[in-house]
Amino acid sequence: MRAVPSPTAPLALSMCALAGVAGHIGPAGTWLPPVRRALFPALDGRGHPRHIALTFDDGPDGRSTPYFLDALDRLAVRATFFVLGRALLDAPGTGRELVARGHEVAVHGWDHRHPLWPTTPPRDLREIRRTVAAVSAVCGVRPRWYRPPYGVLTGGRWAAAHRMGLRPVLWSAWGREWVPGATARGVADRVGRGLRGGGTVLLHDTDRTSGGDSWRVALRALPDLVECCRQQGFTVGPLREHGITVEGARPGGQEQTGPLC
């Protein structure tokens, strides 16, 4: 006798499919600053309350990144550079120079696809694994941190980062130096308004994914930004010195509650 399909079977399959999609796309809501500040303080880049983590995305770029390395040397500051695997293979000498000058190299992904580009967990794992391998081969270090392009952390990317031993970290304040008409003073002021003690700053050491020469705005903003932090009694450095704990909690101490600058 032929079995009659249950009328609830299609509904059950649909519910499973929806649950899978929600599990993959849902975590991307952490892109919203209020969400991650409230629920995921370590993902927001919150570390030791007397330290500011300085990070750069989208490099390395043989045309622009060396200027940042020279500026950071003059300021006696080390930073974390979230690199793209494809860019690293295009500028391996610059990637090696990052490490030689004492900076930290982290994973930003293989390339910088639009956040709405179709993504799947297997593809996320392949691309993150490929970038980790590139960093290890070119720079001779094992990366520790992961920041997805555009800050869109899907469930697949989160799982892939965990599998590769990477800790996802977004940012607490960004300069938005790619906005048309942005100025160095405006970038420094914007970061200062959004940053608190223990925060993580996002800038870009290349204009690979933004308007032409926007990196120059970020470069000119660096001295004012670092000086502002130091005047408030904060140290500025890479994520490895930021004190983000394994559990994701912030180290003890009093967090500054007002704007930095």
CB 220 within 8 A of CB 25: no
Instruction: Tell which residue, 230, 174, 220, 240, has the closest CA to residue 197.
Output: 230
C-alpha 219/C-alpha 42 separation (Å) is: 27
Q: Is 207 a catalytic residue?
A: no
Q: For residue 10, give Cα distances in angstroms to 14, 19, 165.
A: 6, 14, 38
> How many residues does the structure list for the chain?
261
3-class secondary-structure state, position 83: strand
CA distance 34 to 20: 25
| Residue 204 annotated in active site | yes
> Which residue among 57, 61, 205, 207 is the active-site one?
57
Annotated catalytic residue, options 48, 51, 204, 242:
204
Which positions are catalytic? Answer: 57, 204
